[in-house]
Structures are given as C-alpha cells and as structure tokens.
C-alpha cells in the first residue's frame, strides 16, 4: 500500500475549496437523510403507511443525487488542467482535517470516494487519492443532541415494570396505547423469562437505543439487558391495532429471531442517528456474527455497506487461496452466477444474449433489479449490491469459468494484465437453491424438511403478493434457503407488479378439438396469468404436491390472486410480520381471541 507523505505546508487553495465543497455536499446529504428518518416517527404515529413507504423508497436515491450534484459543481467550476496530481493529494489531506470533529466521518470518507471516482480514472483509485482504508476513527464519538445514542435504565431501583413504562414514555410517541399496563406486564414477564431468574449483579441494567427503528407498519424498540458479564438482546415491536391505538406486540430475544428481523432481505430501516457508527457498534453487540457492512445497510446506509463489503472482500482474498467457480445449481438463461467457495456471497453477471423463450434485454433486467432495490422486500427478496469495474485476480479464476464469461458476457469482461475486470455485476448473499434443498431432504428421508421448505415457499410467495410483487418464474430453482431456513426469492428478471397482471381462469373447451389441442385455443395477453397451471410445473413430485395442497392450495386458484390484487388496488397495505405469529402476545391468551377483538387485529 502506498504511504501518504504529508507535506509541510498545504498550499493549494483549489484543493481546500474542493475538499470543502465535497464535505458540504455530504453534510447536505446526511441532513436530508436524517430529516426523512425523523419524519418516519410522524408517519408511524399517524398510520400514514403509504407516505412512509414513499419516503423510504425516495431516500434510497438521496446519496447518488448528492454525489452527482457535487460532481457537477466541481466540473463546472474547475478545468481538468487545474486538477494536478499534487492538488488531488492535498485535497485528501485537507478533507481529513475537516473530519476530525465530524459525527459521521466514515460516511463522509465514502462520499469523498464516490465523488472522486466519478471524476478520476480507475488507475487513480489508490491510497494517495481516495480512502482505501478508513483514516478517521469512529470510536467514542460524542453526540451533540441532549440525548445519547442509548439510554440506560436501572430496574433494581424502581422495579422492572415501572422502568419499562418510563422507557416507552421516553420515546414520546404522539399516539395513545390501547392498554399500556397490560402490554408492559406481558413484556415484563417475557423479559423475566429471558433473564432466567439470575441473581442481580450490581451492574444490572437495560440499555435501549434512543431512536426507534421504523419499517412498514411497525416501530421497533431495540435494547439489551446487562447483568454481570452476561448480555441479553431484545426487540419489542410496537404496532397499531384496528382502532389506531398502539400495542406492544411481542418480545424477540432469541438471536435467530433478531437476526431474521435485521436480515439482508429486510433493509432499509428508518432510524434517526447523529452518530451511525455508535448504532452499528450497539447492534454488533446483539448480532456479533453479522458483518458491519450488512448493519450499515440495515440502517439505510447502503453505500457505506457497499464500501465495507468491498473491503471485507479484498481482505478475504488476501487470506484465501481457493478459486472462483460457477455456482452450484441449474444454469440460468439470463445470469451467469459464480462464487468463491470460502466466501458466503455469489456474483451475478447479466449475459450479452438470452436464448428463447426469454424475451428481454440487459436494460430491462437492470430495471427489474432497480425495482427490487426500491421496493419493500418484506423479508422475501434478497438485497443486491451493484458494482461497476470490479477487479478480480486472474490467477484465482477457474479456466472453465473464465471461458464461460468470455463466451456469454464478452462485453462485460476485460483482461488487464493479471486482473479480470468485470464492468457490471450484482453481489448477493449465498443461499442453497430450493430445488437442491428439496432434493437433498428427500435423499435423507427428511419429510419434515420437505414440508418446512414447501410451507416457507408458499409463505414467501404470499408475502411477495402482499407487497404487490408477482415473481413471474416460480420454479424452485429461483428461490433459495437461508441459513435460518427461510425461503427467499432471488431471480428478478420476470417479476411484475400484481396490479399489472390479469389473473384468469382457463376457459372451458367448446369442442373436442379444442380440448385435445396441444396449443392454447384461447387468446392470451402479455400480462395474463393462469394460476391453475402452476401445478403442472411445480407439483410433479407426489410428496411435494401433498404438502403444497395441504398448506397452499389457494395459490392454484385465480380467485386468490384476484382478491389480493383487488385489496392492493383498494389501497390496503397488508401486514407482513418479520417474526412467527405464535410469538405475538395476542396469540398466547388462554383462549382464542374473539372475532373482532381489537387486541390482535392490526390496522390495514
């Protein structure tokens, strides 16, 4: 790595002015980012779900817009001849000086890189010109707000129930609870179960992040209990009932439950943070196995997530020796997918041409991935990291893989000495393709795993439907199973909005010739879908068919899809819970809740 030589005197006014312009551009971006997160509280209080979804979707583009604004300002202000190598070196040093008291220095460094990489040629992407490694520490950054990153409560003084009530009141939600005393008592009982009757140590306390986490129709209180050298993470979802009153829905305290809530399929939460690195550090204490890159993405800071992911990837390359090779599974018609066996991600490249029956283009495929990026993924679609001009060591490529890339995506592959440059690709968390999972479960005689996978598969489709997404190609190979055994959709080239589809019943044949015809005798529109045909492609295996018909037979009826479409068109935003229904307090009453009981009915 090239070492930076600090000059005795930073003399370039141009370098200083450019550094200040970039810093101001970032500050504008983060101010707008925080304002959107702050508005989420009001949307939640008012039950303005559509407004919250719009704000979350628009916020995704804030970063790129501010980067392009900054690039345009610099290109308008300065001639290329003015930006010498010396100016670029001084520019970075000036910028470092501007971040010494900054509250988001790691984000500001990434913003600097984005601006510079839009101006510089990639041969300049080195330590002299951009931040290849972080320079400014994020340790122990203090907040300027009157409240800290997290609040600390000592239940030993006033009792756990009183402490929980005070904890909730500190969020100052401008909406009444339906029955706060009842809900707090249920949370208290669950937390006492979590703590397991441990003897209370002198440091016994609850730490709770100051900002709630907003997503969809829920707000999430995130905290942990500390007793001696033991820590107990917990999350309390806060929801609206049918009457618009607030309820505490459950307590999540198993690490897997919290990991699923904060998974790569459920970014990006709206959270108001002055010091995001402090939130990341807190969440890492709850989920120590989750990379910082994913936590930044969870918090809506996806560009920082991309930066940290790429640093992790480069570090992994240094400490591994295996070769990139084609990912296991059925080869796709649109994407080439490869992986490094020791690295838990896959790399996806769009082919230059697609054989029949695919009728699409590269631009259309990219548009589908962009749609998913902006859409609510409801925990059932993988988030993707999109990169341009990614360098791979040529020596680490299997010969078969390199030949396949050159054959099917020659326009995206460039050989540069000892490197392979791929001009555009997507990176996703690696999962086991569902078709392989089902095959392995059957070979092992694990009917329980087969049934679980089919239940999850149907649930995934139904939750996508709730989010106005029709998967298009519903074959098992287009779904994956995560390490938490959740089924997730990851092939986006044929997705459509439910509201753009026409779900039809196959008309009755009028003649024997029509009934025996190998081709459809009835007209089919571009967006027509016939759900009763799904079984032909999905249910050839008798065991799978049994479980599917037991749990999800409604997916084979046009009436189910038509009803879901009508609800979306009527403006209903469905509830999709990021945790099992049986964990909800209202599902654990001694007797089933009465029909119309507002305790367990969520506002739609």
Alpha-carbon distance of 561 to 563, in angstroms, equals: 5
Residue 490 burial class via C-beta count within 10 angstroms: exposed 0-12, middle 13-18, buried 19 and up: buried
Find residue 487's DSSP bridge partners.
481
Residues 498/469, Cβ–Cβ less than 8 Å: yes
Between the alpha carbon of residue 521 and those of residues 509, 512, 516, 530, the distances in Å are 8, 11, 10, 14
Evaluate whether 286 touches 402 at the Cβ level (below 8 Å).
no
Which of the residues are catalytic? 383
Question: Comparing C-alpha atoms, which of 138, 167, 398 is closest to residue 292?
Answer: 138
- What DSSP letter does each residue of 50-100 carry, written as one string? HHHHHHHHHHTTHHHHHHHHHHHHHHHH--GGG--HHHHHHHHHHHHHHTT
Q: 507 is written with which tokens?
A: 């008309």
Integer Cα distance of 514 and 230 in angstroms: 71
Alpha-carbon gap, residue 236 to 221, rounded angstroms = 5
CA 303 to chain centre: 12
Question: Regarding beta strands 528-529 and 502-503, do their DSSP bridges make them parallel or antiparallel, or are they unpaired?
Answer: parallel
Classified as helix, coil or strand, 211 is coil
Is the Cβ–Cβ distance between 461 and 474 less than 8 Å?
Answer: yes
Alpha-carbon gap, residue 320 to 317, rounded angstroms: 5
The single residue listed with the structure tokens 């030993």 is 156
């Amino acid at each position: 790595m090239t070492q930076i030589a600090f000059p005795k005197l930073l003399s370039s006014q141009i370098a200083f002015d450019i550094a200040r312009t970039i810093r101001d551009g970032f500050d504008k971006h983060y101010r707008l980012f925080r304002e959107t997160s702050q508005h989420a509280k009001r949307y939640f209080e008012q039950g303005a779900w559509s407004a919250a979804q719009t704000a979350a979707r628009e916020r995704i583009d804030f970063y790129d817009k501010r980067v392009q604004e900054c690039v345009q300002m610099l290109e308008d202000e300065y001639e290329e001849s003015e930006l010498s190598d010396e100016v670029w070196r001084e520019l970075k040093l000036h910028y470092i000086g501007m971040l010494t008291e900054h509250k988001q220095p790691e984000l500001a460094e990434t913003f600097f890189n984005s601006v510079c990489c839009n101006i510089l040629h990639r041969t300049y992407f080195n330590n002299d010109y951009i931040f290849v490694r972080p320079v400014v520490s994020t340790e122990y950054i203090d907040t300027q707000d009157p409240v800290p990153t997290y609040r600390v409560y000592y239940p030993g003084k006033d009792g756990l129930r009183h402490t929980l009530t005070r904890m909730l009141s500190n969020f100052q939600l401008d909406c009444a609870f339906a029955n706060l005393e009842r809900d707090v008592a249920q949370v208290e009982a669950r937390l006492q179960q979590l703590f397991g009757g441990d003897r209370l140590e002198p440091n016994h306390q609850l730490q709770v992040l100051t900002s709630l986490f907003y997503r969809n129709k829920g707000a999430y209180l995130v905290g942990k209990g500390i007793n001696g050298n033991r820590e107990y993470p917990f999350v309390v979802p806060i929801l609206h009932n049918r009457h618009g009153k607030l309820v505490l829905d459950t307590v999540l305290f198993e690490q897997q439950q919290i990991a699923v809530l904060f998974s790569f399929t459920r970014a990006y939460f709206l959270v108001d943070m002055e010091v995001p690195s402090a939130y990341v550090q807190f969440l890492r204490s709850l989920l120590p196995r989750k990379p910082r890159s994913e936590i930044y993405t969870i918090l809506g800071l996806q560009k920082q997530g991309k930066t940290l992911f790429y640093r992790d990837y480069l570090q992994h390359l240094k400490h591994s020796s295996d070769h990139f090779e084609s990912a296991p599974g059925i080869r796709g018609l649109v994407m080439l997918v490869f992986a490094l066996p020791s690295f838990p991600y896959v790399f996806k490249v769009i082919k230059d041409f697609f054989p029949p029956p695919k009728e699409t283009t590269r631009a259309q495929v990219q548009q589908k991935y962009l749609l998913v990026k902006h859409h609510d993924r409801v925990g059932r679609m993988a988030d993707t990291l999109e990169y341009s001009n990614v360098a791979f060591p040529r020596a680490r490529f299997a010969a078969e893989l390199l030949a396949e890339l050159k054959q099917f995506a020659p326009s995206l592959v460039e050989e540069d000495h000892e490197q392979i440059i791929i001009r555009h690709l997507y990176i996703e968390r690696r999962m086991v393709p569902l078709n392989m999972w089902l095959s392995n479960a059957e070979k092992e005689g694990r009917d329980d795993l087969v049934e679980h996978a089919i239940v999850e598969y149907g649930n995934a489709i139904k939750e996508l439907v709730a989010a106005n997404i029709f998967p298009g190609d519903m074959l098992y190979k287009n779904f994956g199973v995560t390490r938490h055994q959740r089924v997730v959709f990851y092939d986006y080239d044929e997705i459509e909005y439910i509201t753009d589809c026409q779900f039809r019943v196959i008309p009755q044949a009028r003649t024997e010739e029509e009934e025996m015809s190998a081709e459809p005798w009835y007209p089919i529109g571009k967006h027509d879908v016939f759900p009763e045909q799904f079984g032909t492609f999905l249910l050839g295996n008798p065991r799978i068919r049994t479980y599917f018909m037991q749990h999800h037979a409604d997916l084979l009826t046009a009436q189910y899809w038509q009803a879901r479409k009508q609800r979306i068109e009527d403006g209903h935003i469905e509830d999709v819970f990021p945790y099992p229904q049986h964990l909800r307090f209202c599902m654990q009453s001694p007797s089933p809740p009465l029909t119309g009981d507002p305790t367990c009915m969520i506002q739609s």
